[in-house]
C-alpha cells in the first residue's frame, strides 16, 4: 500500500511556480491580442489584460474593488463579464488566456466563461 503524503503550502507554491513558468514560455500577449492573467486567493480574485511587448497592464478587475457582495463562481463569472465589457470599450476582442498555473476548473473556468459570454474570443 502506498502512503499519500500531504504537500505543505510551500511545496504547492513551488509546484505552481514551475507550472506558471512552463505556461508563460508558450503564451505571449501583444497589443492586438493581450494576455488575460488570472490570480486567485482564498477570498478574492483579480484578472488583468497585459501587453507583454510593452510590459504594461491594459485593464484590471478584481472582486475586492469592482464586485461586492458576491463570492465564488458567481463573482468570478461577473469579473469575466466586466472585463469583457471594459475590453470592448478599448476595442479589444481577441485575447490569450493565462491560467497562471491554476487548474482550469471552478473559479478560473468561471472567469473564462464570463469573458466568453461578454464577447471576448480566445
User: pLDDT, tens digit, for every residue of 82-114?
Assistant: 999 999 999 999 999 999 889 999 999 999 999
Residue 52 lies in a domain: yes
Residue 78's domain spans which residues?
Answer: 29-117
Tally of domains in the chain: 1
Residue 14: pLDDT band with limits 50, 70, 90:
confident
Indicate whether 3 belongs to any domain. no
CB 110 within 8 A of CB 98: no
Is 57 part of any domain? Answer: yes
Global pTM value: 0.84
Let me know if residue 10 belongs to a domain. no
Domain-embedded: residue 20: no
Residue 23 included in any domain? no
The alpha carbon of 98 is separated from its chain's Cα centroid by a whole number of angstroms, namely 6
CA distance 29 to 43: 27
Residue 1 counted as domain residue: no
- Residue at 71 is within a domain: yes
**What's the CATH code of the domain at 89?**
3.30.420.100
Per residue in 30-82, pLDDT tens?
A: 888 999 999 999 999 999 999 999 999 999 999 988 888 888 999 999 999 99
Three-state secondary structure call for residue 20: helix
Amino acid at each position: 500500500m502506498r502512503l499519500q503524503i500531504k504537500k505543505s503550502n510551500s511545496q504547492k507554491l513551488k509546484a505552481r511556480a514551475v507550472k506558471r513558468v512552463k505556461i508563460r514560455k508558450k503564451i505571449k500577449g501583444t497589443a492586438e491580442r493581450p494576455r488575460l492573467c488570472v490570480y486567485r486567493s482564498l477570498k478574492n480574485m483579480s484578472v488583468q489584460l497585459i501587453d507583454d511587448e510593452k510590459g504594461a497592464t491594459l485593464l484590471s478587475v478584481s472582486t475586492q474593488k469592482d464586485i461586492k457582495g458576491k463570492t465564488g463562481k458567481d463573482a468570478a463569472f461577473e469579473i469575466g463579464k466586466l472585463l469583457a465589457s471594459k475590453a470592448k470599450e478599448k476595442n479589444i476582442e481577441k485575447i490569450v488566456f493565462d491560467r497562471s498555473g491554476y487548474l482550469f476548473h471552478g473559479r478560473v473556468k468561471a472567469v473564462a466563461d464570463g469573458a466568453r459570454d461578454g464577447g471576448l474570443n480566445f
